[in-house]
Amino acid sequence: MRLTMTADEIFDEIEIMRYTESDGLQKVEDPIVRESSIRVFLNDIEVVVLSALKHDLRELAIGFLYTEVFIDDIDAIRSVEVKKGLDAVSVVTDGHAASTPVSNIRSVTSSCGRSVSFINPLQTGHFPEVKSSSTLSAKWILRSMDDLTRSSRLFKTTGGVHTAALSDGDKIVYIADDIGRHNCVDKVIGWEILNKVVDPDRRVILSSGRVCVAIVSKAIRGQVPFVISHSAPTVGAVQLARQFGITLAGFVRGNRFNIYSHEERILP
């Protein structure tokens, strides 16, 4: 599933100089992805400014607020409104959902600097161990990653985005693109929170990007037992996955991949 997007909201055609050995330097129009500053409000309080693509904003806001523990009770969400003219999303709860006090507005860029080293000790109660009796076959993992890497038309057009997907262990049910891999995972988890489609025991996140501590912590928070990536993990991500029950696989490319934690859930 992928929402339709208008090109003018996603990328610009910019005049550049391109060099090739056959033609030398030539002036061409090149599609370059456009990032926007998206403001997220919780109960009329501005919580964060996210550097992101201007689509799937409901999913992005809910995923961010939940995985970052600004919202704890998803059933307390009363409304989610995208204010397009303001590049903002307003989330309203019944007043009992917020578990993290908002002391100042955070600004999160699309860079890798967003990650933290460990889950905040004051919030460990919101990150229970992920338990699952489900298994995935190695062939399914290879096939699904191939499906993910082929799925993004925006990446094929611009080369400037990451892609993540939610699967039920059988098929991909939702795909998201964004300039930041964290945003992609927020969108995937946000979509599941809003739609409640996949049994927690069988949730799989497929990702094109590197897996850091922040990505694994989001999977723990979203009770996702499988994180499968085209790229590499960090040491902290592996340690966290082992501690909290996440099956983490990386470098899923061609006919091989590495398993870093809880390999008992992956069958040959």
Are 189 and 167 contacting, i.e. CB atoms less than 8 angstroms apart?
A: no
Closest CA to 154 of 1, 46, 6: 6
Residue 153 in tokens? 């038309």
The catalytically annotated residue of 112, 142, 172, 194 is 112
Clarify whether 184 is annotated catalytic: no
Question: Residue 187 has which token pair?
Answer: 């969108």
SS3 label, residue 58? helix
- Count CA within 13 A, CB hemisphere, residue 65: 35
User: Cα separation of 9 and 12, whole Å?
Assistant: 8
User: 174 forms bridges with which residues in the sheet?
Assistant: 166
Q: What does the alpha-carbon distance between residue 139 and residue 206 come to, in Å, rounded to a whole number?
A: 14
Point out which residues pair with 165 in neighbouring strands.
175, 206
Distance CA 12, CA 244 (A): 42
Q: How far is CA 260 from the centre of its chain?
A: 20
3-class DSSP string for 83-108 = EHHHCEEEEEECCCCCCCCCCCCEEE
CA neighbor of 226 nearest in space, from 202, 257, 191: 202
Cα gap 236→86, rounded to integer Å? 37
Residue at 91: amino acid letter: V
Known catalytic residues are 112
